[in-house]
Amino acid sequence: MRSRGSIDCRLHKMLLTQDKIKLLEKKAAAIRRSIVEMLIEARSGHLAGAMGMADIFTYLYFHALKHDPKNPKWKYRDRLVLSNGHICPALYATMAHAGYFPVRELETLRKFGSRLQGHPHRDFLPSLETSSGPLGSGLSQTIGMALSDRIDSGKSSGRQYYCMMSDGELDEGNSWEAIMLAGKEKIQNLTVIVDRNNIQIDGFTEDIMPLNPLADKWRSFNWHVQEVNGHDFSEIDRAVGEAHAVYDRPSVIIAHTIPSKGIPEFERKFEWHGKAPTTAEEIKVALRAVK
């Protein structure tokens, strides 16, 4: 009899058909509704990045990742590290809809005693690979996991390592130390997905600390680089497939996203980086957009 894990391992390689894309779009819409509802309930949190990355998380958890919500510590699972921990509402909502814990638990976000803290805490949920909060640390953690895997198995185990990063955290020097190390070690089963939404807490990234030419910078450190529309499931799928086919270096996918995607009145406004709808009008606007 196949284990649940082995079934997931097989299913994640299925073709991304148009019917599957429609299902992913519906799931992403439900996840965005959950993000808005949980932030309204908490009256705090980070809206813009969470809404912008909902499609990426949906694609990973409902199509690409080898994982088993009923067995979070399944030995052969892929590893996903959220470096920009402040967008954890997107991760929590996706995991809940995938079956890791009840969707109703999302209402406890940021409350005392909740497993769903404002930044992920791995001791509270067995399905979290790391705790995150300080920006710029996630890629180093992911590289450590991948190198440990290589040492333990003597070669690549076939497991994929994903690190989700924000563009703003590339201001951190630690990020570039990690980027150099991964390029030097040629970690071929490592894929970084950068949320290139062009905002951070104080303004637009190119005003605070210009990152361009971002793709060229990654290439200079021996990374395979792709740029995609972070809301187009076909583009995301092609990029992830190409990343998995590269065997001589790590891969980075620069995903161009719209912060606060799905709420037109809030989209592309850096002011929504770290706030939740709290006034009656803001709540009305947000709920109307995602219903």
Q: List pLDDT tens digits, range 45-101.
A: 999 999 999 999 999 999 999 999 999 999 999 999 999 999 999 999 999 999 999
- pLDDT digits over 234-266, tens only? 999 999 999 999 999 999 999 999 999 999 999
pTM of the model: 0.94
| pLDDT value at residue 1 | 25
Ranges of each domain in the chain = 4-290
Mean pLDDT, residues 12-35: 92
- pLDDT digits over 105-159, tens only? 999 999 999 999 999 999 999 889 999 988 999 999 999 999 999 998 776 678 9
Given a contact cutoff of 8 angstroms between Cβ atoms, the answer to whether 116 and 106 are in contact is yes
Given a contact cutoff of 8 angstroms between Cβ atoms, the answer to whether 110 and 42 are in contact is yes
Q: Which of 133, 46, 136, 134 is nearest to 90 (CA)?
A: 46
* Domain spanning 4-290, CATH class: alpha beta
| pLDDT value at residue 7 | 31
| pLDDT value at residue 27 | 98
| pLDDT value at residue 156 | 64
Quick one: tokens of 246? 């590269």
Strand ranges inside the chain, DSSP E: 79-82, 161-166, 190-196, 199-200, 203-204, 224-229, 251-256
| pLDDT value at residue 157 | 75
Mean pLDDT score of the chain: 94
| pLDDT value at residue 231 | 98
